[in-house]
Amino acid sequence: MEVLFELLTKFWYLWLLIIAAGVLEIFMPKIKGAIGEKSVAFFLSGLDKTKYKLINNIMLSVGNKTIQIDHVIVSNYGIFVIETKNYKGWIVGNEFDDNWKQIIYKYKEKLHNPIKQNYGHIQALKEVLNDFEDIKYISIIAFTTRAELKVRSKTDVVYTINLPKTIKKYNIENITDLVKDDVYKKLISLNVDSKETRKTHVKAIHKTLAEKETKVNGDFCPKCGGKLVLRNGRYGQFKGCGNFPRCRFISK
């Protein structure tokens, strides 16, 4: 017992390093996400403030749930809805896939299709901004340069450093200054800023993902409830909904 106590006191710094490494591993996904969002906020801060009004990390209450959006830009050219990702390695996917892949050498990991994720954000914005008709919504997915994009889509999927150039290619004005200011003020007034609400939002996301995983593991389609069947595709075997083509869910 005395020997153990002596080792603990003599090498206390090693235990401190082990604990710090464990804490860092737990919070690393949040840290990476925050870095990605901060880098995007930096690139967007240089836009002409008379034409573009930027809102970073906005959370909206829609019905009985909350929606968190990384960046919204209310402009004279439309409302830009930007989802940021801070992954490394190859990012492989198509516009309508349910999941994309992150590939680092032989390591492969699924990530939810951010285009579909951002589509949900746009629908939420349309609901809270239903007083404003004929508003153009522009979806942009932005990855940091840690990733190598292998994505095929009509939706803009770009590197964060190319965001200003991507935004500026939309140069036809369809929103007046008055409407732009009114939309911006309404979104600011609806922004839920409480830490408790944000914690609830994160828990709801984890619960939804867990429920989806449980259904897939039980060979049930999380979209329509149909039976999942094993199919052979171009890139190997995958599970697809038996109600295809009515339901196009696939689990890779």
55 pLDDT band, cuts 50/70/90, is very high
| Of 26-30, 85-89, 95-99, 104-108, minimum mean pLDDT range | 26-30
What's the average model confidence in pLDDT over 173-191? 94
162 pLDDT band, cuts 50/70/90, is very high
Is the same domain home to 141 and 203? no
The pLDDT of residue 215: 81
The pLDDT of residue 224: 83
The pLDDT of residue 49: 92
Nearest residue to 160 (alpha-carbon basis) of 141, 178, 187, 174: 141
Is the predicted pLDDT of residue 164 greater than 70, yes or no?
A: yes
Is the same domain home to 182 and 203? no
The pLDDT of residue 218: 81
212 pLDDT band, cuts 50/70/90, is confident
Mean pLDDT of the chain: 82
| pTM of structure | 0.66
Position 107 in a domain: yes
Structural domain total, the chain: 2
58 pLDDT band, cuts 50/70/90, is very high
What's the average model confidence in pLDDT over 77-99? 94
Is the same domain home to 39 and 152? yes
Is the same domain home to 87 and 205? no
Dmax of the chain from CA atoms?
77
Position 153 in a domain: yes
* Residue 155 or residue 224, greater confidence: 155
User: Cβ distance 82 to 40 under 8 Å?
Assistant: yes
What is residue 20's three-state secondary structure?
helix
Is the predicted pLDDT of residue 34 greater than 60, yes or no?
A: no
Is the same domain home to 81 and 181? yes
Is the same domain home to 155 and 53? yes
* Residue 24 or residue 219, greater confidence: 219
Position 229 in a domain: yes
Structure confidence by residue, pLDDT tens digits, 18-33? 555 454 444 444 445 4
DSSP for 115-181 reads HHHHHHHHHHHHHHTTTS-S--EEEEEEE-TTEEEEEE-SSEEEEGGGHHHHHHT-----S-HHHHH
Is the predicted pLDDT of residue 62 greater than 60, yes or no?
A: yes
Is the same domain home to 108 and 216? no
Is the same domain home to 75 and 181? yes
Q: Which domain holds residue 243?
A: 194-252
